[in-house]
Every structure is written in structure tokens, then in C-alpha cells.
Structure 1
């Protein structure tokens, strides 16, 4: 595995005491005025701050103001006031702002990429997925707003005489709690349809990647959204997150299954809805007729994109006997050819883990597996020479149920290989465990792969791709089954979750009670005859 040298990047950077183009020990800093322009968007009056350091080199990036419960309460006051006016704007007006956001994100992508890499440590090419996804999401909901939100006519109980319409009414203020692993995408992608549907948002991004989320909020305002419509608060989930859940009309959470369960319980106590995208132990199946080279390339991206810190990344790889040896040879060779580096360079194939805690988890999972008999085909060790939290992309063979990484989510660049003889057995093993977020099937017989996909208990299944095909197809729903979550982002489900359906029926002439002295018994007989007639006429 090779190391990439850092290269200069555009955006709001000031170089440290070294030349970042030639010195691997170079550090980067952010312009103080630039940091201040972002952090002033946090509604925080507590006077407390917390430091944020870059996983690239441990250098300080910012001191983040911390919000109090009173700040959260004020954020909701402002958001509710802004939402009332916003809900009265036209879909055309909202769509035009989303399209301006689309262009801003593409125009400012170098700045966005700098912040993503500095805060998360991921490879720059993986950071590019984020502005790409937000541009796709903004354009999609701008172009399809009327399809999702227009008032619809429905069949009335009495043809002609009963007119029924269904409206889509905004929930009000949506609370969004987003994670660190995709700080730009997750900060914005769930909120854009909420705004499109006429809601306001109170957002709590993860503190490690707050600057990226704040840049997203800044771009929303530059595009034309009212500033108070999108409030940002900062602080620990136990204080700020709990307060958001207590005041929201709907909650959108992305994170661990353990925390998601607590979010769902808190929402249930208030009888409000929530959508949760949680953990995964995602399987990839390589069938006997798979294109081995294509499957090996997909496995590298599926397992090691963002250093495996991706909810939909692959951690379990089931390979048919007929192609197992050839596949493993190509997969290992491709993995060993990867370029690693904790820098801003485009050349990195994989970057750093986010933190010491994440590095400790990955190291512990690998060491536990090896101690209990698993074999490391490549990788398996930390690389402090490249960055404080870099861990080599790792392929394990011989992983068994008593090993921690067999069933627990590692959330790092570690994947386990398993042979299979029978496809039905492979599907059963893919469905083993509690998770059901994403799966991948490689086969040259698309129809057969799609039929197998129906038997896999995951919210998304990609054929001849690891995760990008479903994630980037924003007209289709994306989310998890079982312990991987509830609700869906993207598509019609991704925007309808932020609305209440309201039925309005207008009745003409006929009333639903006896008329002209008719008895209740006669009325019942007339209505019974009417039901039989409607059946003969084929009415629903």
C-alpha cells in the first residue's frame, strides 16, 4: 500500500510552517476570520466552547460555541416564526431557491471538499461524493415538487356528488441530528425535502464536523432560504439532542442503532414521527457467474470508501466456490495497490479514520479476530507514519461467530471473506443478524440477481455495484429494515415523511341521513342497494 504526498488545495486555507506540496509533515490551518464567519451561525450563548482538531494531523481547527437548553428553545421560537411565513410561499419559489443551491454547491465544491477532508480525514475523492449527492438531491426535489406536494383529487363515496381532495400539510419544525461520517451530505440531504415541503429545521450536526455543516447552512442562506428557517445548535446529544427531540414536530436521526432506539422511544412518548438510518453489517454476494474483475473493483470501493466509515459499506463478503480463488487474488491485489494518505490530495485511494476512538474499535476487532484464528490476507495494522488514525484496508478470512467482528459493526476498513456452495445458503447467511441496511449482488445474469435481491432483507440492494447506484438514485427510497432503522430518505417517501396528509371532502345535494320522512330502516336498505350497485359498476 502506497502513501500519497499532500498537494495544495483551494479554499480558505493558510499553510503551516512547511511546504504542503513537498513535505509530508505539512499541516494546514483555517483563516480565523473564515472560522468566525461559520461559527457565528451557531445559536449559542453559554460562553462555553469545545476544541476541534483535524484527524489529518491533530492540528486545531476551531473552538465551537456550545448551545444551552435555552438556546435550543430560542432556536425553535425563531424557526416556528419563520416557518409560518415560509409555508405560505409557492412551490415555484422554493424550487427556484433549491436550484440556486444546486449551482452554489457545484461552484463552491473545492471549498466544501477542503472542509470535509480537514474535519473527517477522508480521501478527497470520497469527499466529492458529498457535494455531488447534495446537488442531485436539490435538483430532484426542485424538479419534482409538484409531483409530491400538489393537492390530489380522490374518488368520493358518491360519484359526482362527493368531491375529495388530499392536501400535503407541513409538519412544522423538523429536528435533524446528523453524524460525522458524511458531514455535508448528512447535514443537508434530509433537510432539503423538509424545506421544500414547507417546514423549518433545527439542526444538530456532530461536533467533529460542525464547520462543514455550518458551511452548508451558509450556502442555504446564500441560495435564498430565510436565515431563521434553518437553525444550528451545538453540543452533546444528552443535552442538545434531547432538547431537540422534546420540541420538534418530527425528528430525523442518522447514527448508531443504540442511540436510534432511544430517539424512537422519546418520539413515541410524544406521539411524533421519526425516521432513523442506523447501523449495518452489510453483505456482498459474488455469484458463480460474476465478472470477477468488476466484483473485485466493487468490493474495494464497497469496503474501503471513507475508510469503511459508511453505513452502507460492505463488511461481509460471500463468494461462490467456483470463483472464490480468482476473486480473492484480484481483491487482495487491488487492495494492496491502494494509495493511503491523510492529506488533502486527490491521489489518495483511502484516507484516515475520524478519531482515536474509531481507531481503537477497528484495532480491537482485528486483533480479536486474529487471536481467535482468523487470517489477515492484507492490511491489519495502524499506520501512524501516515496519520494519527490511519488503519490499513484489511481483508480477513476464517472469521467465525465467536469473533467480535463477525456480527458487530466495525465501521472501519475491515471486511471478512466467506465461501458459499449454495445461493440459498448465501442469502440466508446474508440475512443473519439484526441489521438490514444495504446489500450487493454481483452476477452477469441481472434477472437472477434481481430475483435473489427480493429475498435479501435489506432496504437497498445493488446489482453489480456496491452502494452508489441506490444512494445516487434519489427518486428511489433509501433506508434500513430491522435494526438498521425505520422510514426512508429520498424519493416520495423522503418528502412525504415531513407532511401530514389532510383529506377535505365537499358534499353536494345528497346528505348521509334519511330524507323526506324516510325511516332509518329504509335508509339502511337504500344504502345497502347502493353498495351492491357500486360493486356491479366496478367502483372501488
Structure 2
């Protein structure tokens, strides 16, 4: 630990009391549960995961070798050839059953998410909501997204064209630790209903959640071999997943995403990448400051800021900055920190030593270079080994690491601006482009500013949830924040290969009916002019 971490035994933020009779890790992660969840998982080695609440070991787990990964792909490939022949309505029915079972048994997975990530229970419930919505959406809409589509042919009435969608085969998925339910099975759901198998490598420290979700999908009717899970160190197992996959889905850092993209490109395999962010929230001069302050707490500190789309840069119009900060800092100081498997805490723990070190480095560097801590700024080992208070920094300059680097923790920097144009320019002045938030009483003004922000999603009068939760619409990043999208049509079509079938009838696409080449060329030129005049597309 750093000196700052050692010093802090108490702090500004209160501790949420644990309810009487609250469950413990031993109550939740039993030998019977581990045996059930790891049944059929390929792994000839052994590894373990731990809970951030105490740092103690949760479970011993199988660890996969490169040979084990190859075996998992072989099993998935054999199962996929059968699964893709299953009628889509039956594949979709699996998702709808999964939706119902997930909501019925949500308490089980909320315990696992909390134990593995350290997040507050309400933030864990965001994952349940997101996965249930995705399962319902693709369970209801997959058939429409994937059905054969008729298109106008090269020669209207003579050329009949149909677009078909085929599954890619076996999707290799590398899922992160921060949202172990939503970013594992949530991304796999559209791949399954499109007829693919999935070989997933979740982060070992949060793999029990992914394994639980796999078990639930099998209970809902998914063939077990269609969903393979491999566990192990990222640098060992991750490249093997990419090496065998027909398509790669990756969520994680931009640096690792570039490596994944290079490896996939060498094999001419498609990729979907959701990467880092340095997301901005703009509080305009006409914003409702009470609502904006409450929204900023949600936007900045959900899951202790360990969310790709959370806010790390807060731009406030200079005319309302003092009034806004008074409200925002007061709400931040009042946030309750806690480690109980129950509702009541406003924020939980960071996931581990690495995140705590990164957060501490950013705050200490900023303070050393002249920034002011308005609240927070210290670790809370009195609650747990990786707790850090929600922190608001003022006076942040370009020379400070926290200004440009992704913190991925409960730290937000305040910047004042004088005009909308200035705010937009500064919000866009980052290599990232994942999410943004705009607060204003004018819907028109909010939409106009949103259209000028270079981010994949923009939320007006909220931080991130409306855009992410609107699953009919695409979600993803611009610039260094990624490639491709999840949700909506793009979120399922990326797991398919498009095939065009063109049936030419009556006349060939060549000189016929006694025409020589010159007459055929003239005939086609006249036809093209007519089709333009008739507004053919």
C-alpha cells in the first residue's frame, strides 16, 4: 500500500450498516455450487478467484491450457453445426425462458456479482436489468432481424434477389471483470440466437458470475456444448481464443483491443471491440442543478466508477459552477460505502490492488501538481482492502495524468466553460469517444449539442442508462473507444455472414434477342436512364 492508503482509517463518507443476518461469502460460494458451475469446464490446471470485500479466496477453479482451449473449440464447433439447424423460434424461446429464470433467481447472481466485483447491490442489479432486457429483445426480435430480405435486382422483375444471414460459426468472446454478467452472457445472447456457438474467456476473478449465467442458459434449453467457458491468465488463454475463433467479441482496454484486432486481422476474422473511455458530462447554464447533481453522482460513481461509460470529466458552465458544485459535493460526501450482500450502500469497493493503485496514483499526481480535492481523495481500509472514497477534483490541468488517462475509478475532474462551443470542443478533445451526457432544460439545445459530440452514445439529462438501456438502438464507441456495436440490429447481425442470392429469369445479363454488343450497351444505357427517372434505388 502507498502512504496515503495506510494513513486512511476513517474518512468523509459514512459506512452503510450491514443488516442483521446478512449472508457471507461462505454462505453463497459453497462446494456444491462450485461443483455445479464448473461441471464440464475444460481445464487441466488449477487457479482461484478472490473477493474484493476482504481479499480472501472465493473458489478453486480449473485453469485451461492452450490445448484445453482447442478442445473447447472442437466441442463448440461440433455442437454449433446442430444448433444452427434448430428453428430460430426455438432458439429465441431459450432466451425468453432465460429471461424469466434470471428474474426469479436474481438474488443468487446479485450475491455473486457483489462478491466478485465488490460493487454495491443496486449497481449489481443494473446488470440483471441489462441482461433481462437484451434477452427479451432478441427473444422477440431476432427472427425479424435474421429473416431473408428481398431486394430490387439489377434488372427489375428479371432479377430476383434475396439476402440471407448465416451464423459465423464459433464466436470467441473475451469478457472483462467489471460487469461480469452483462458483458459476458449479455453479449453472448445475440450470438446464440443467431445460431452460433460461443467459447468465452471471462476474467478469472469474476468467472463465477459468468459460469452461473451459463448454467442458467443450459437450464433454459441451450445445449451445453454450444456454450464453452475457458479460464486462465489473459496473456495465455486470450490469444488462443482469438486464434481459433470465427469471430471475436472483446471488451476491455484500448491497448489490449489493438492487440486483439491485429491478431484477428492476420486471420481475416471480424472483431467487435468495446474499449476505453474518458467520458464527459456537460452541465449547461440552464440546467436543473439539483437534478444534475443527483445525476452526476450516478454517472460518476456507479460501480465505483469502474464502468466504461461512466463520467470522468465534468464540464460546468461558469455561471452555475459554484451552485452546482455545492450540491454535487454535498451529495458525494453523503454517499454510504458498504460491503454487505444487501441493498443500502451507495458505492462498493474497487476490484483489486491494481485498480486501487491506479486511482491513488491519479489523485496523488493531481494534488502534487496543484489540483484541489473537494471531497474524498483517500482509501478506506477500515471498510475493506480496496475501498476508495468517491473523489471530486478541481483545478485539474493538462499536465496531470487524471486529465487524459482513463482512471476507471471513483474520481471525477471539474472544468469550467464559458460557451457551448467551448464545452463541445473540450469534450471532444480526447482520443476516446464512448459516451457523453448533456444537462439542459431545453430539449432542442440538448439534441443540437449531442449531435456535435463525437461519442457513440449521448444521454440528455441522465448519465449513461437511457442510451445503454435502449436495446433497439446501437451502443458502442468512436475513435479509440472501439469498433462495431452491441444492441439493436447491429448487435446481432455482426454475428452473421451476409449472403446475396440473385436469381436471373427470362433474359440473361448479356446480349440477347439478336442484339450485338453495341446494341446491348445502348439498350442498357437507356434502361439505366429510365430507372433513374422512375426513382429506382
Contact 1:29 1:61 in 2 (8 A): no
Mapped contact 1:306–1:351 kept (Cα < 8 A): yes
Superposition deviation, residue 14 in structure 1: 6.0
Partner deviation per Cα, 1:59-110 (whole Å, 9 max, x = no partner): 2210121101111111111111111111111121111111000001101100
Residue of structure 2 aligned with 1:87, choices 78, 84, 87: 84
| Contact map agreement 1:9 1:114 (CA 8 A) in 2 | no
Among 188, 196, 200, the residue aligned to 1:199: 196
| TM-fit CA distance, 1:211 | 0.5
Structure-2 separation of matches of 1:467 and 1:350 = 17
User: CA separation in 2, counterparts of 1:80 and 1:29?
Assistant: 34
Unaligned runs of 5+ in 1: 17-27
CA distance in structure 1 between the partners assigned to 2:32 and 2:106 by the alignment: 20
Question: How far has the Cα of 1:343 moved from its partner?
Answer: 2.1
Give the match for residue 175 of structure 2.
178
In structure 2, the CA distance between the partners of 1:8 and 1:531, relative to structure 1 (3 Å rule), is farther
Instruction: Write out per-residue CA displacement over residues 125-149 of structure 1, whole angstroms, 9 at most, x where no aligned residue.
Output: 1000111111000000011112210
Match of 1:59 in 2: 56
| 1:353 match | 350
- Contact 2:173–2:250 (CA<8 Å) still a contact in 1? yes
1:509, distance to aligned residue in structure 2 (A):
0.5
For the Cα contact (< 8 Å) 2:277–2:435, is it kept in 1?
yes
Q: What's the offset of the Cα at 1:199?
A: 0.6
Structure 1: distance between partners of 2:532 and 2:300: 55
Match of 2:125 in 1: 128
Matches within 5 A, 1:451-466: 451-466=448-463
**1:321 positional shift:** 1.4
In the alignment, the residues of structure 2 paired with residue 406 and residue 9 of structure 1 have an alpha-carbon distance, to the nearest angstrom, of: 43
Quick check: 2:51–2:58 contact (8 Å CA) kept in 1?
yes
Residue in 2 that maps onto 1:4: 16
Q: 1:60 to 1:139 in 2, by over 3 A?
A: same
Once the two structures are TM-superposed, the CA of residue 9 in structure 1 deviates from its matched residue by 7.6
Corresponding residue to 2:447 among 447, 450, 460: 450
Partner of 2:327: 330
Kept after mapping to 1: 8 A contact 2:25/2:115: no
User: SS where residue 458 of structure 2 aligns?
Assistant: strand
CA shift for structure 1 position 15: 6.8
Structure 1 counterpart of 2:33: 34
Q: Of residues 382, 393, 398 in structure 1, which corresponds to 2:395?
A: 398
In the TM superposition, what whole-angstrom CA distance separates every residue of 1:279-335 from its partner, at most 9, and x where no partner exists? 000000000000000000110011100000000000000001121111000000100
- 1:388-444, Cα deviation, whole Å (9 max, x unpaired): 100000000000011110100000000000111011001000001201100000000
Q: Distance in 2 between matches of 1:8 and 1:112?
A: 21
Normalised to the residue count of structure 1, the TM-score between the two structures is: 0.95
Q: 1:308 to 1:499 in 2, by over 3 A?
A: same
> Secondary structure, in 3 states, of the residue corresponding to 1:190?
helix
What residue number does 1:520 align with?
Answer: 517
1:287 aligns with 2:299: no
Deviation at residue 160 of structure 1 after TM alignment: 1.4
Give deviations 1:163-201, integer Å, cap 9, x for gaps: 110011111110110000000111111110001111110
How far the C-alpha of 1:518 sits from its partner, in A, is: 2.7
Measured in 2, the distance between the counterparts of 1:526 and 1:477 equals: 43
Contact persistence 1:121–1:351 (CA under 8 A): yes
Contact 2:88 2:193 in 1 (8 A): yes
Q: Which residue of 1 aligns with 2:9?
A: none
Query: Normalising by the residue count of structure 2, what TM-score does the alignment of the two structures yield?
Result: 0.96
Whether the 8 Å contact between 2:48 and 2:205 is mirrored in structure 1 is no
Which residue of structure 1 lines up, in the alignment, with residue 160 of structure 2?
Answer: 163
Aligned length: 525
Q: Which residue of 2 aligns with 1:320?
A: 317
* SS of corresponding position for 1:365: helix
Q: Is the 8 A contact 2:25 2:58 kept in 1?
A: no
Matched residue SS, 1:128: helix
1:129 is paired with a residue of what secondary structure? helix
Q: Secondary structure at the match of 1:203?
A: strand
Inter-CA distance 14–454: structure 2 relative to 1 (3 Å threshold): closer
Residues 48 and 204 in structure 2, CA contact (< 8 A), matched pair in contact too:
no
Q: Does 1:152 align with 2:164?
A: no
1:12-40 CA distance string (max 9 Å, x none): x6676xxxxxxxxxxx6621111121123
Residues 313, 414 of structure 2: 8 Å contact kept: yes
Match of 1:246 in 2: 243
Q: Distance in 2 between matches of 1:307 and 1:496?
A: 33
Q: Which residue of 1 aligns with 2:501?
A: 504
Shift of 1:7: 3.0
Residue 23 of structure 1: aligned partner: none
Q: Which stretch of structure 1 is more off in the superposition, 30-39 or 322-331?
A: 30-39
Give the whole-Å Cα distance in 1 for the aligned partners of 2:290 and 2:511.
Answer: 75
The Cα RMSD (Å) is 1.3
Structure 1 residues 181-239: Cα deviation after superposition (integer angstroms, max 9, x where no partner)? 00011111111000111111000000110101100110110010000000000111222
Assess, with a 3 A threshold, how the Cα gap between structure 1 residues 14 and 437 changes in structure 2: closer, same or farther.
closer
